[in-house]
Amino acid sequence: MSRRRQIYEGKAKILYEGPEPGTIIQYFKDDATAFNAEKKGTINGKGVINNRISEHIFTLLGHIGIPSHFIRRLNMREQLVKQVEIVPIEVIVRNVAAGSLSKRLGIEEGTPLPHTLLEYCYKDDALGDPLVAEEHIACFGWASQEEMQDISAMAIRINDFMAGMFAGIGIKLVDFKLEFGRVFEGDFSRIILADEISPDGCRLWDIKTNEKLDKDRFRRDLGGEAEAYQEVARRLGLFPEGESEVLDLNSERKKRGK
């Protein structure tokens, strides 16, 4: 592989300069972190699975008119994306109470919400990504009110689409995180979906058993996290027959002598 300039290394991904101006390569790592990186580990094969799941979801969202940074998958762990200026806000979309919402407001995990709830967190690791109101976003100029309208409308459409898609394969979409970016076209900028959508940033529960099929298995030391990610990919119809060696986690482990 030729030497590429690394732009940024995050907790689960590395960004490299892309082949053309305005493009970036996203490399998906197996590294997993939780609780603002206090807990660190790896989930075997996660990068390969998240690359495929995110490609699949961004492609389907493109078909319903959601613009995103995704251009194409390059290989098992990399995808080519458009360079964006990331809006420093994490958008949390919730259908069922869980995680920090349950803790903050004392609502039992698993309680369905009367309607979809959008929350915003300011992206700042040093501050632990604090929850903020739209008024803070406007006050500090993190995004304009027009941009927030686009972001919230897209988040609701993405949720409607994804909740239906997952329900069709027996999975409840409890909550998830989205990130958006700006692309500049002449004097104008436009908001598009960025980052990734994978079990790292979604809560996915089996509809019948409520078994967790997402990063909470890692966060809460439940075990079986690699198998859970694999199960989501399998139900989405990814890694069909013939590519199954990709997901043969045992053979990967054996090769490493673990």
Return d(Cα 173, Cα 109) in angstroms, integer.
13
User: 198 or 230: whose CB is closer to ligand UDP?
Assistant: 198
Report the C-alpha gap between 148 and 144 in whole angstroms.
Answer: 6
Question: What is the number of other CB atoms lying within 10 angstroms of the CB of residue 130?
Answer: 11
Q: Which of 99, 152, 161, 239 binds ligand UDP (CB under 6 A)?
A: 99
The distance of closest approach from Cβ of residue 11 to ligand UDP in the complex, given in angstroms and rounded to an integer, is 9
* Residue 23 contacts residue 71 (beta carbons within 8 Å): yes
177 binds ligand UDP per the rule CB under 6 A: yes
What does residue 123 show for φ and ψ, rounded to 5 degrees? -75, 100
DSSP strand pairing (171-185 vs 131-132): unpaired
> Total number of residues binding ligand UDP (CB under 6 A)?
14
- CB-nearest residue to ligand UDP: 99
> Which of these ranges, 20-28, 65-73, 172-180, 186-194, lies near ligand UDP under the rule CB under 6 A?
172-180
Q: Does 224 bind ligand UDP (CB under 6 A)?
A: no
Applying CB under 6 A, among 18, 201, 212, 217 the residue interacting with ligand UDP is 201
3-state secondary structure 116-177: EEEEEEECCHHHCCCEECHHHHHHCCCCCHHHHHHHHHHHHHHHHHHHHHHHCCCEEEEEEE
Does residue 175 touch ligand UDP according to CB under 6 A? yes
Site for ligand UDP in 57-96 (CB under 6 A): 90, 92
Pick between residue 175 and residue 246 the one whose CB is nearest to ligand UDP. Answer: 175
Nearest CB to ligand UDP, comparing residues 147 and 196: 196
> Could you say whether residue 225 binds ligand UDP (CB under 6 A)?
no
Site membership for ligand UDP, residue 229 (CB under 6 A): no
Which tokens go with 31?
A: 């590294």
Q: How far is the CB of 71 from ligand UDP (least distance, A)?
A: 23
Helices and strands, counts by H and E, the chain: 7, 14
Q: Which stretch binds ligand UDP (CB under 6 A): 24-32, 55-63, 97-105, 223-231?
A: 97-105
Residues in the chain: 258
Asked if 176 touches ligand UDP (CB under 6 A), the answer is: yes
Q: Are 161 and 176 in contact (CB under 8 A)?
A: no
Neighbours of 240 (CB within 10 A): 8
* Cβ-based nearer residue to ligand UDP, 32 or 81: 32
DSSP state of 111: P
Interacting residues with ligand UDP (CB under 6 A): 90, 92, 98-101, 129, 175-177, 201-203, 215
